[in-house]
Amino acid sequence: MELSERLKKIPPYLFVELDRLKNEKMKEGVDVIDLGIGDPDIPTPKEIIEVAKKALENSLYHRYPSNIGSFFFRKACANYMKKRFGISFDPESEIIALIGSKEGIAHFPIAFVNPGDIVLSPDPSYPVYHLSTIFNHGIPYYLPLTWENDFLPDFTKVPTNVLQKTKIIWINYPNNPTGAISKKDFFEEVIKLAKKYNWIVAHDAAYIEIYYEDPPLSIFEIDGAKDVAIEFHSLSKTFCMTGWRIGFAVGNSFLISALAKVKSNIDSGVFTAIQEAGAYALNNLEKIVPPLVNTFKKRRDFLAEELRKLGYQFKKPFATFYLWIKTPEGISSQQFCEKLLKITGLVVTPGIGFGKAGEGYFRIALTVDDQKLKEAVKRLSTLRL
């Protein structure tokens, strides 16, 4: 048996050794605190669960769902986009339901990437952008996100022939793993370049509701964005619903219809009962989300203060539930994370796992409760490398 060429091109999973160590520590009886995964510990709010429970009884929902999503769900997405960003979208042609935003992000390039096409992908980043490029025989071109440039790509460093050959650019703000947000002028620059070089702009907005200062922008708040852009939204982090698998894509109708064509040949849509819960959540966002975000804010403030006292260097994030922290001098991010786990039982994610430019950093996810966070700080303070 031989793997396909495309699968062979996918690099090995970088966290294998860390996972092994974590399991070993747990077997030894160590109380491992996992600050590695971006998966909220907070349960989905009760009222969303109640809507889903009731929806389960609807026998119409036991049949195949609508492939692009039920109209009521797409309408709730359109209402949210209008209310939150002031932009109107046609639920019929400009919105599609996704089985989590990862599904849409992974499938979207099938519609547009031909072998040899360049896809601009941030580095460090959520890995699906460049991996889905490789799956489609495209060529990822990495845009380093540096501390000096506030973790935004610098297009002046990209050769013109690359800009000319680019098919898709992926951007993600608020950003995983750096916690950075985008200013309006950066989005304006992206849209301007996209029009000049004929790019598709794919904006991953998975963390757009997890913010602690000014509300982050949608790419569609930029004039003309609808001509070239698609935006991926997720209910996972916003409503602590990672396990439910629901999100949506919104934007240019040609881009949406192309994604719909791909999806209609691969999956059969989101379970309608979950869409009903998702629509309820979106329609009640202002009521449901603030207490959740407040919990993350308190954790962010606590951890940021304690880490500063311990001498760690980072930019306090305005959004997301991640802290992107410089590793101590003279040790790689992988070595640091392995040592940290061995010595203290703390799991954090090495920056290198998010791309070459992630070297020199590690990521902490604020996805454990206050008590565990306090204990984590205590253990960190005892760390001697």
Ligand X SMILES: Cc1ncc(COP(=O)(O)O)c(C=O)c1O
Please tell me the distance from the alpha carbon of residue 200 to that of residue 13, in angstroms, as a whole number.
29
**Residue 247 found at the interface with ligand X (CB under 6 A):** yes
Q: How far is the CB of 160 from ligand X (least distance, A)?
A: 29
Between 345 and 353, name the residue whose CB sits nearer to ligand X: 353
Q: How far is the CB of 234 from ligand X (least distance, A)?
A: 3
Between 126 and 324, name the residue whose CB sits nearer to ligand X: 126
**Residue 204 found at the interface with ligand X (CB under 6 A):** yes
- 264: CB partners within 8 A, 6+ apart: 67, 68
Q: How far is the CB of 236 from ligand X (least distance, A)?
A: 3
**Paired sense of beta strands 166-172 and 200-204, if any:** parallel
293, 211 contact by CB (below 8 A): yes
225, 219 contact by CB (below 8 A): yes
**Residue 234 found at the interface with ligand X (CB under 6 A):** yes
Instruction: Specify the DSSP class assigned to residue 213.
Output: S
Contacting residue, 25, 102, 203, 299, with ligand X by CB under 6 A = 102
Instruction: Specify the DSSP class assigned to residue 356.
Output: G
Between 42 and 385, name the residue whose CB sits nearer to ligand X: 42
Stretch that binds ligand X, among 133-141, 183-191, 234-242, 268-276 (CB under 6 A): 234-242
**Residue 225 found at the interface with ligand X (CB under 6 A):** no
Between 95 and 380, name the residue whose CB sits nearer to ligand X: 95
Closest CA to 119 of 137, 133, 108: 133
- 130: CB partners within 8 A, 6+ apart: 119, 121, 140, 142, 355
**Residue 77 found at the interface with ligand X (CB under 6 A):** no
Please tell me the distance from the alpha carbon of residue 233 to that of residue 227, in angstroms, as a whole number.
18
Q: How far is the CB of 65 from ligand X (least distance, A)?
A: 17
Q: Per this entry, what is the length of the chain? A: 385
Between 104 and 138, name the residue whose CB sits nearer to ligand X: 104
**Residue 230 found at the interface with ligand X (CB under 6 A):** no
Stretch that binds ligand X, among 19-27, 100-108, 156-164, 303-311 (CB under 6 A): 100-108
Q: How far is the CB of 101 from ligand X (least distance, A)?
A: 3
**Residue 96 found at the interface with ligand X (CB under 6 A):** no
Q: Which residues in the 132-191 window bind ligand X by CB under 6 A?
A: 172, 176
Helical ranges in the chain per DSSP H: 5-8, 16-27, 46-56, 71-85, 101-112, 128-135, 160-165, 184-197, 253-264, 272-283, 285-309, 333-344, 370-382
- 298: CB partners within 8 A, 6+ apart: 370
Stretch that binds ligand X, among 21-29, 52-60, 75-83, 96-104 (CB under 6 A): 96-104
Stretch that binds ligand X, among 94-102, 195-203, 251-259, 269-277 (CB under 6 A): 94-102
Contacting residue, 126, 142, 186, 239, with ligand X by CB under 6 A = 126
DSSP string, 299-334: HHHHHHHHHHHTT--BPPPSBSSEEEEEPPTTS-HH
Name the 3-class secondary structure at 376: helix
Q: How far is the CB of 308 from ligand X (least distance, A)?
A: 25
Closest CA to 292 of 354, 367, 347, 349: 367
**Residue 121 found at the interface with ligand X (CB under 6 A):** no
Contacting residue, 101, 275, 295, 344, with ligand X by CB under 6 A = 101
Contacting residue, 25, 35, 38, 365, with ligand X by CB under 6 A = 38
Between 182 and 344, name the residue whose CB sits nearer to ligand X: 182
Vertex 92 angle, CA 88 and 95, to 5°: 65
229, 251 contact by CB (below 8 A): yes
**Residue 236 found at the interface with ligand X (CB under 6 A):** yes
Q: How far is the CB of 171 from ligand X (least distance, A)?
A: 10
Q: Which residues in the 297-326 window bind ligand X by CB under 6 A?
A: none
Tokens of 149: 């440039």
Which residues of the chain form contacts with ligand X (CB under 6 A)?
Answer: 38, 100-102, 126, 172, 176, 204, 206, 234, 236, 242, 247
